[in-house]
Amino acid sequence: MKRIALLVYDVSLTGGAERVAINLANEFAGQDRVYILSVFSTGVSSKGIDERVSCIALSNHYEKIPVKFLKYKNKLRKILVDEKIDILMSITAGVVTLAIQAAKGLRTEVIYCEHSNLENRTYGRKHVFRQYFGAKKADAVVTLTERDRQNFIRMFKVAPERVFTIPNWYEKKKCSTEYNSDSKKIISVGRLEKVKGYEYTIDCADVILRRNPEWQWDIYGDGSQRTELQESISHKGIERLTLKGNVADIDKRYAEYAFLVMTSRYEGLPLSLLEAQTSLLPIVSFDCPTGPSEIIEDGVNGFVVPLFDVDALIQKIQRLIDSQEERINFSEHSQDKLCFYEKARVMRLWNELFQKLLVDGDDADD
């Protein structure tokens, strides 16, 4: 039985990285001894965490990690030694430096798991350095997409055999088994934040909805830009473009729509695209880094257009509006690639990586 630890910044947060860590830990716990190690915890919640997973927090209040680096490194190292951790997974670049330094000289294998991508430079230079350090010093790097894997190899000169693509899995939920080809509604889903590029959605909708008065466009999600986006919609006088907010049953809402549109600047692996395909929807998306070009097969189950090219986006959306036959054809191929994101496949890739690292580590000791 392996001993696997997943290091996160704060397990009590509700962000995507924390959810991924909990999902992985729960799944690993079925066959291994598993720990979630949280640098901080402002109130560790056991919600959603399997009782077989041990949660350990290094601190119950926030401090700047660089200022108290030695303190946290020593605490983490003691846990790695006392619990005889075989594999330490750093979930995001934010904690990878701590993971690598704490495990230095131990038999613990360190995996740097990139939750976003190298092309997303919104987090500043310190974050880029952490990505570089993790890429150079970790025993393995795991990316969500093949595009990001190639970027690590090219940009940081990482040996190809040290970088692996393992996506997050997507569990299919019950949805409509028929595509609503008569729908005249467009859907977009995601947090109302700058990274999602909703100003491009609004520019596009301004043209599309004026041309097609029988169609409507709904945006699901909430965030810090809600007021700003609503003011922009009102200022432009766009009718039938509605901010719907967060809903608990979003997976059931997709069946009401004809297709999904995404205008993100960056993504890791966009869950909304997989949800849409599960619900048989065609997709039109910017070719943002990373995910859309690997999830969507251009011209087969949707369209991928150059990043920020609103004119191209409008053209493809209008094409789907004009052709019910093409929408139906795209819908029939919407699930062609979903097998790549099934839990069984993803877990097989993780187990193969663990086996490789542990065998290679034993060979190095010999």
Q: What is the pTM of this model?
A: 0.88
- For helices 69-82 and 96-103, angle between their N-to-C axes, nearest 10 degrees: 60
C-beta atoms surrounding 326 within 10 Å: 15
Mean pLDDT within 292-299: 96
Residue 53 — very low, low, confident or very high, per pLDDT cuts 50/70/90? Answer: very high
Residue 231 belongs to a domain:
yes
Q: Are residues 241 and 289 in the same domain?
A: yes
Residue 365's pLDDT is what?
A: 59
Mean pLDDT within 12-38: 90
Q: Are residues 29 and 147 in the same domain?
A: yes
Q: Are residues 19 and 161 in the same domain?
A: yes
Residue 123's pLDDT is what?
A: 79
Say how far apart CA 62 and CA 285 lie, in whole Å.
38
Residue 204's pLDDT is what?
A: 98
Residue 158 belongs to a domain:
yes
- Domain assignment of residue 134, given as a range: 3-169+342-365
Residue 122's pLDDT is what?
A: 77
Residue 128 belongs to a domain:
yes
Residue 177 — very low, low, confident or very high, per pLDDT cuts 50/70/90? Answer: confident
Residue 42 — very low, low, confident or very high, per pLDDT cuts 50/70/90? Answer: low
pLDDT (tens digit per residue) in 249-290:
888 899 999 999 999 999 988 989 999 999 999 999 999 999
| DSSP structure class, residue 114 | -
Q: Is the pLDDT of residue 352 over 90?
A: yes
Residue 174 belongs to a domain:
no
Residue 159's pLDDT is what?
A: 97
Residue 179 belongs to a domain:
no
Give how far the C-alpha of residue 190 lies from the chain's centroid of Cα atoms, to the nearest Å: 12
Residue 180 belongs to a domain:
no
Q: Specify the long-range contacts of residues 48-56, CB closer than 8 Å, at least 24 apart.
A: 48/19, 48/22, 49/11, 49/22, 49/25, 50/25, 50/26, 53/25, 53/26, 53/29, 55/11
Residue 205's pLDDT is what?
A: 98
Q: Is the pLDDT of residue 174 over 70?
A: no
Residue 121's pLDDT is what?
A: 80
Q: Are residues 19 and 119 in the same domain?
A: yes
Q: Are residues 252 and 267 in the same domain?
A: yes
Q: Are residues 224 and 313 in the same domain?
A: yes
| Average confidence score pLDDT of the chain | 93
Q: Is the pLDDT of residue 44 over 90?
A: no
Residue 46 — very low, low, confident or very high, per pLDDT cuts 50/70/90? Answer: low
Residue 71's pLDDT is what?
A: 95
Q: Are residues 154 and 49 in the same domain?
A: yes
Which H or E run contains 187?
strand 185-189
Sign of the CA dihedral with 28 first, then 34, 39, and 41 last: positive
Residue 63 — very low, low, confident or very high, per pLDDT cuts 50/70/90? Answer: confident
pLDDT (tens digit per residue) in 68-126:
999 999 999 999 999 999 999 999 999 999 999 999 999 999 999 999 899 988 778 89
Q: Is the pLDDT of residue 176 over 80?
A: no
CATH number at residue 304: 3.40.50.2000
Q: Are residues 140 and 255 in the same domain?
A: no
Residue 277 belongs to a domain:
yes
Q: How many domains does the chain have?
A: 2
Q: Are residues 289 and 267 in the same domain?
A: yes
Q: Are residues 89 and 193 in the same domain?
A: no
Q: Are residues 310 and 350 in the same domain?
A: no
Which H or E run contains 276?
helix 271-278
Q: Are residues 36 and 84 in the same domain?
A: yes
pLDDT (tens digit per residue) in 186-234:
999 999 999 999 999 999 999 999 999 999 999 999 999 999 999 999 9
Say how far apart CA 357 and CA 2 lie, in whole Å.
12
Residue 14's pLDDT is what?
A: 64
